[in-house]
Amino acid sequence: MLSRTAENLYWLARYVERAEYLARTIDATLRVTALPAAYVGKTNEWDSALLTAGVAASFYQTYEEANEHNVVDYLSFSVNNPSSIRNCIEAARLNSRSVRTALTSEMWDTINSAWIELQEVWSKGTSTREDLAKFLRFVQETSLRFDGSAYRTMLRNDAYWFSRLRLHLERADNTARILDVKYHVLLPEEEHVGGPLDFYQWSSILRSVSALTAYHWVYRETLKPWLVADLLILNGTLPRSLASCYDNLVRNLDQIGVAYGRQGPAQRHARGIRNRLEHSNMNDIFQHGVHEFIQEFIADNSRLGEIITKQYLI
């Protein structure tokens, strides 16, 4: 496969994953802000949405205040935000065009139709909450359709594996960030752990990674921070957990290695991260500091991206 094709596929999956993550973030934030103040305290959920999206700094270059209107606009529709949902879909579509030969028609149709809908229905943004809800559903469905099309129609060859690589790197990064932000920025020190504030904060985390129901199935417990962390970091059965993302990354990199008859630094680095996750337990992580653990993970994760690029994409 052409290196450029692999690179485009790789980024394409990232844009789609990213758009969905942003939609989930907005959705979860809206739910929390709709609660009476007594349940959620005085923290600004919109600020934390910007933080988990990693765009807080650039946001304040354009806007004064992180309120619902501004943040939704910036994350969803802003042309000035390179990773707004709109820009992600635009970029996904441009990427798709340049690798059309590597995509199945179902995948192309999903992206192209989403792009057309974006222009025809959503070019002016949304004016009501109902509209916004529809828009967020549209984004999530696009991502589901895209993933489903890839899963059901692509040949299981290097094109498929490369597109899965970036998806899991992005997903791991998102999960790690949301944990980090929520854990350290959102939960005020003096707040009593296990109080109502806590409950809604953690449930919003789980909602934003689509794991609230899963939590109950796995633990059959009320929401507890360390169990949420355990689910999102170490539980290999949850598709968005760090452990699960790394199972997939290692497997896909191995498949590429076998197909090409050669292993390299990317395979070794990914295996290293997975082994660390496999041999950790929540006690150690809390001892070590959740923040530190996640910061290291985020750095390692992005390092893997660089290694893959160097090994295959240039």
Binding site for another protein (CB under 8 A): 1-6, 94, 97-98, 100-101, 105, 108-109, 112-113, 116, 158, 162, 256, 260, 312-313
Closer CB to another protein, 87 or 208, in the complex:
87
Please report how close the Cβ of residue 1 comes to another protein at its closest, in angstroms: 5
Please report how close the Cβ of residue 5 comes to another protein at its closest, in angstroms: 8
Long-range contacts, 149-155 (Cβ 8 Å, 24+): 149/104, 149/106, 149/107, 149/109, 149/110, 150/13, 150/104, 150/107, 152/106, 153/104, 153/106, 153/107, 154/104, 154/107
Please report how close the Cβ of residue 97 comes to another protein at its closest, in angstroms: 5
CB contact at 8 A, 114 and 121 = no
Please report how close the Cβ of residue 98 comes to another protein at its closest, in angstroms: 5
Please report how close the Cβ of residue 109 comes to another protein at its closest, in angstroms: 6
Please report how close the Cβ of residue 145 comes to another protein at its closest, in angstroms: 13
Alpha carbon distances (Å) from 44 to 54, 84, 225, 248? 16, 20, 20, 35
Closer CB to another protein, 96 or 126, in the complex:
96
Closer CB to another protein, 116 or 144, in the complex:
116
- Token pair in block for residue 173: 């990064």
Q: DSSP H helical segments within 66-157, as ranges?
A: 68-72, 85-98, 105-120, 129-153
- C-beta neighbour count of 236 within 10 angstroms: 15
Please report how close the Cβ of residue 84 comes to another protein at its closest, in angstroms: 20
Query: Residue 241 phi/psi, 5° resolution?
Result: -70, 155
Closer CB to another protein, 154 or 206, in the complex:
154
Closer CB to another protein, 164 or 240, in the complex:
164
Closer CB to another protein, 148 or 195, in the complex:
148
Q: Round to the nearest angstrom and report the end-to-end CA distance of the chain.
A: 12
Closer CB to another protein, 122 or 312, in the complex:
312
Cα(274)–Cα(50) distance, integer angstroms:
29
Please tell me whether residue 104 adopts helix, strand or coil conformation: coil
Closer CB to another protein, 116 or 121, in the complex:
116
Please report how close the Cβ of residue 313 comes to another protein at its closest, in angstroms: 7
Tally the C-alpha atoms within 13 A of residue 247's C-alpha that lie toward its C-beta.
13
Please report how close the Cβ of residue 110 comes to another protein at its closest, in angstroms: 10
CB contact at 8 A, 168 and 252 = yes
DSSP structure string for 170-224: HHHHHHHHHHHHIIIIIS-TTSPTTSHHHHHHHHHHHHHTT-HHHHHHHH-S---
Closer CB to another protein, 101 or 283, in the complex:
101
